[in-house]
Structure 1
Amino acid sequence: MNAIASATSNLAQVLDHPGIWRRSADRQPRVRALSTGWASLDGRLPGGGWPQGAVSEILFEHDGLGELDLVMPALAALTQEHRRVIFVAPPYQPYAPALAAAGVDLRFLHEIHAGSTEAAWSMEQCLRSGCCGAVVGWLPDIDYRSLRRLQLAAESGDACAMVFRSAGHAAENSPAALRLKVSNSDEATYVDVLKSRGLLTTTAPLLRMRA
Structure 2
Amino acid sequence: MQAQPAAPVPPLRSPRMVGPLPPAVAAAVWRGSELGSVVSSVVSSGWALLDHELPGGGWPCHALAEVLSPQPAVLEWRLLGPALRQVVAKGGQVVVVGPPRQPHLPGLVHEGLDPAQLVWIQADTPAERLWVTEQLIKSGSAGALVAWVPQVRQEQIRRLQVGAQSGAGLVFLCRPEAAQHEASAAPLRVHARFGLDWELHVQVFKRRGPVHAGLVTLPSVPGGLASVLTPRLLRPSQFFLPRENPHAVGRLAPRSTPLSRLAPH
TM-score range, shorter chain: 0.7 to 0.9
Q: Is the 8 A contact 2:150 2:176 kept in 1?
A: yes
Q: Secondary structure at the match of 1:132?
A: coil
Q: CA RMSD in A?
A: 2.6
Give the 3 Å change call, closer, same or farther, for CA 40–31 of structure 1 in structure 2.
farther
Q: Is the 8 A contact 2:75 2:193 kept in 1?
A: no
Q: Is the 8 A contact 2:73 2:101 kept in 1?
A: no
Residues 113-138 of structure 1 deviation map (CA, whole Å, 9 limit, x = unaligned): 11211101101111111221111000
Q: Is the 8 A contact 1:120 1:139 kept in 2?
A: yes
Residues 36-84 of structure 1 deviation map (CA, whole Å, 9 limit, x = unaligned): 1111101221211100011000001224752221001111111121111
Q: What residue ranges of structure 1 are gaps of 5+ in the alignment?
A: none
- Report matched runs for 1:122-137 at 5 Å: 122-137=132-147
Q: Secondary structure at the match of 2:27?
A: coil
Q: Secondary structure at the match of 1:83?
A: coil
- Report matched runs for 1:1-211 at 5 Å: 8=16, 17-24=26-33, 28-63=37-72, 66-114=75-123, 115-186=125-196, 188-197=199-208, 199-210=209-220
TM-score (normalizing by structure 2): 0.69
Which is higher, the Rg of structure 1 or of structure 2?
Answer: 2
Q: How many residues align structurally?
A: 205
Could you tell me how far 1:186 is from its partner in structure 2?
Answer: 4.7
Q: Is the 8 A contact 1:65 1:183 kept in 2?
A: no
- Tell me the distance in 1 between the aligned counterparts of 2:17 and 2:54: 33
- Tell me the distance in 1 between the aligned counterparts of 2:73 and 2:168: 30
Q: Secondary structure at the match of 2:53?
A: coil
Give the 3 Å change call, closer, same or farther, for CA 11–24 of structure 1 in structure 2.
farther
TM-score (normalizing by structure 1): 0.86
Higher RCO (CA < 8 A, seq sep 6+) = 1
Q: Secondary structure at the match of 1:190?
A: strand
Task: Report % sequence identity.
Answer: 32
Q: Secondary structure at the match of 2:165?
A: helix
- Tell me the distance in 2 between the aligned counterparts of 1:56 and 1:100: 24
Q: What residue ranges of structure 2 are gaps of 5+ in the alignment?
A: 1-12, 221-234, 236-265
- Tell me the distance in 1 between the aligned counterparts of 2:61 and 2:153: 22
Give the 3 Å change call, closer, same or farther, for CA 122–29 of structure 1 in structure 2.
closer
Could you tell me how far 1:161 is from its partner in structure 2?
Answer: 0.8
Could you tell me how far 1:20 is from its partner in structure 2?
Answer: 3.0
- Tell me the distance in 1 between the aligned counterparts of 2:37 and 2:136: 30
Q: Is the 8 A contact 1:190 1:209 kept in 2?
A: no
- Tell me the distance in 2 between the aligned counterparts of 1:26 and 1:96: 37
Give the 3 Å change call, closer, same or farther, for CA 113–135 of structure 1 in structure 2.
same
Give 1 or 2: higher strand fraction: 1
Give 1 or 2: higher helix fraction: 1
What amino acid maps onto 2:207 in structure 1? S
Give the 3 Å change call, closer, same or farther, for CA 64–132 of structure 1 in structure 2.
closer
Q: Is the 8 A contact 2:36 2:55 kept in 1?
A: no
Superposed structure 1 runs of 4+ greater than 6 Å apart: 9-12
Aligned to 2:238: none
